[in-house]
Amino acid sequence: MSVTLPKLVFVGYGKTLWLSVIFLRLFAAGLVIICAFSACADELRSWDMETWGTVATKGRVFLDKPLNRQQSSHHAELIFESTVHWENSSGNSFTFRPHIRAGRSDANVAAADVREAYFLTFGNAEKFEWEFRLGIDQVFWGTTESTNLVNIVNQTDFAADPFGDERLGQPMVHGTIAGDYGILSLLVLPYHRPRTFPGFEGRFRTHPWISDRSSDILYEHPDGKRHVDFAARYGTSIGFLDFGISIFEGTAREPLLVLNGCTEQQILSSYLQDKTCRFQQIYNQIEQGGLDIQVTLGDFLGKMEVVRRNGFPPTGYYNAFVVGGEYALYNVFESDADLTLFSEWIHDERRENATNTFQNDLFMAARYNLNDVSDTSFTVSVIDDLDYSTRSLNLLFERRLTDSVSIDIESFLFLKPPEQEDQIYFPLRDDAFLGINLVYGF
């Protein structure tokens, strides 16, 4: 179907019921490839298996009453993530990493995802080394601290983390060639995954809420989720300069959001209490060119990411960038501790039409690492919205309690509450929280 793309408001959501079938098909494909290289029975007998993973409990207490009476004043979830890795004597391997969450305060938190399920093989070809991956995988591109504009391959999992640090697994065919002149990666992405968002009962959500119903997720291209996307990146180092050039063509990872036909009166009377008024998601076709740079000058790292995209109305083409750096101070106060200072400016030409939280923002942070046996660290970060004067604060304390158990204590609050003109942060004005996470590694 063809969709006329309207003005956007925020970012979007979706669910994953097809992963088990995809995993079985990819695993079978991996076995076929293995058998192509040698006798299948002998190959399978030579495989060794390793397992590791984490079990985590996450709890948050929100400091203010929610806007919606159905939203909870607290949040609790249990997270299980394990990696199973098979490898044979030839170096061929298969990796499987499921991610399972259970929680009661938000229906969308309870979910299962396959972060990784891929077959890997590699070899040499004259002066080059090559690597081939087939299956579900995660790929990271970028250099900056606050956000990674060039990191477009994997979809953001906002249901798992409201700050966008979690990513969904992405089905792909991924080939890499590495040599003296750099590393070239080529990716074919045969399936699109809608972005996940908190559910109607969850915190850190828009008002109205963003629907994850299949009927509310629309695509510009008639192939929908099964449109085949393409991506590539070339990266290399020249002295103190590391840089990467990337391209992407296919279905956008950031959706446009439109109301489902509600009138202004309906929104004012009902949007806080029921699901009648909601945002629908529209995923259009885009083209993106990206550049990421890191300059190393002693204790200073200069960083920049720039993207140029086409396919977002009303401007079509637009540019966005994040530029800044970090500076490390060692042996602070004549101790073993280090202090790293961060500063970045994020700018999007679309400004109020941006599909993310950073349209014109200043990010500043400091990380104090004690370098002790418990890996203790403190991080404080501030994001200052230069357009709307909204200012938010994040605090994070991390420490290992034993060889297997660690604790994270985090807090989020507004130093300057958002005003109604700030369409992104205003719905979150009452979502300040204090959180404690316990992680057991095995």
> What pLDDT score does 410 carry?
97
In terms of Cα–Cα distance, which of 114, 77, 110, 85 is closest to 99? Answer: 114
pLDDT (tens digit, 9 = 90+) per residue, 38-84? 545 555 567 899 999 999 999 999 999 888 888 888 889 999 999 99
What's the pTM value of the predicted model, to 2 decimals? 0.85
Superfamily of domain 7-441: Porin (2.40.160.10)
- Return d(Cα 239, Cα 241) in angstroms, integer: 5
Q: Which residues of 126-240 form beta strands (DSSP E)?
A: 128-137, 170-179, 182-189, 209-210, 217-219, 229-238
Query: What does the pLDDT read at residue 349?
Result: 92
Q: Model confidence at 32, in pLDDT bands (50, 70, 90)? A: low
Within 8 A by CB and 6+ apart from 232, the residues are 184, 185, 186, 187, 246, 247
Q: At residue 18, does pLDDT exceed 60?
A: no
The string of pLDDT tens digits covering residues 222-231 is 999 999 999 9
Q: What is the DSSP letter of 92?
A: -
pLDDT reading at 405 higher than 80: yes
E-only strand ranges, 298-404: 300-312, 316-329, 338-348, 360-369, 377-385, 391-400
Question: CA of 381: how far to CAs of 146, 206, 367, in Å?
Answer: 9, 23, 9
User: What integer best gives the mean pLDDT of the chain?
Assistant: 87
Number of H helices, E strands in the chain: 3, 22
Q: How high is the pLDDT of residue 11?
A: 34
d(CA 256, CA 4): 11
Q: Is the pLDDT of residue 34 over 70?
A: no
109 — pLDDT class (breaks 50, 70, 90): confident
- Whether residue 266 is predicted with pLDDT greater than 80 in this model: the reply is no
Identify which of 25-29, 102-106, 358-362, 392-396 has the greatest average pLDDT: 392-396
- Give CA–CA dist 252/286, Å, rounded: 6
